[in-house]
Amino acid sequence: GWDDQLLSDLAGSGSRRDDVSIENSVAISGNTVYFANSGGLVQGWDITNLKKDPKSVKRVFRFWTGDDTDASVVIDDEGFLYVGSQYERGLERSLEVGQIMTLDPTQPDDPLVWSVEDHDAIPSGVWATMAIHEDMVYVPTNGGRLLGLDRATGEEVWSKDLAGPTWQSPVVVDDVLIQGDCNGVLHAYDVSDRTVDPPE
């Protein structure tokens, strides 16, 4: 789940060298499995011939977010990856790439399509797995904000302030966005019209 380059990048960050646990679920697109770890390493492994030849499995994608990435990677219908990372170490890499990002695995040398920053305090960023619905991405943050982002550009369409930290992952059912908060309240928003701030 890690490599020597990651351990080198994390050296001196105040975290233990072995703080690279995998705390998210894997996501699969085609024959590639994606996951991330607590060191911020996002990986894609080609498992095309896994059953016939396990030694043929190889890494085909590597991206370092710069900080703990516990949220599961989400993949859209075009194969783009949506990644949410925490901001705890305060590393320059986290400031460079942001905490909410879209990656294009077909461009492994420069996969960052867009990113959104959420590093106003330590800790901040994203713990929850984001949700995709139509042309929107819904992302709750540690600070209690629920963001509605344009899927193509990352532009903020709307945001809501909830009781944080909002580590609960959102889900969309029949044009209704469901999100829990840290006061124990389950919110439901009508997202059928994605051009407006959704009513509760």
Alpha helices in the chain (DSSP H): 4-10, 92-97
Note the pLDDT tens digit of each residue in 136-158: 999 999 999 999 999 999 999 99
| The pLDDT value given to residue 162 | 97
164, burial (CB in 10 Å: exposed 0-12, middle 13-18, buried 19+): middle
| The pLDDT value given to residue 165 | 95
Tell me the pairing of strands 86-87 and 81-84.
unpaired
| The pLDDT value given to residue 19 | 84
Place of tokens 């075009």: 78
Check pLDDT > 90 for residue 16.
no
- CB 4: neighbour CB atoms within 10 A? 7
Q: What is the mean pLDDT of residues 39-59?
A: 96
Assign 32 a pLDDT band (cuts: 50, 70, 90): very high
Is 169 within 8 Å of 137 (Cβ atoms)? no
Check pLDDT > 80 for residue 17.
no
Is 34 within 8 Å of 26 (Cβ atoms)? yes
Give the whole-angstrom CA distance, residue 20 versus residue 3: 10
Rounded mean pLDDT of the chain?
A: 95
Assign 18 a pLDDT band (cuts: 50, 70, 90): low
Q: ω into residue 165 within 30 of 0, thus cis?
A: yes
Give the whole-angstrom CA distance, residue 40 versus residue 54: 26
Note the pLDDT tens digit of each residue in 81-117: 999 999 999 999 999 999 999 999 999 999 999 999 9
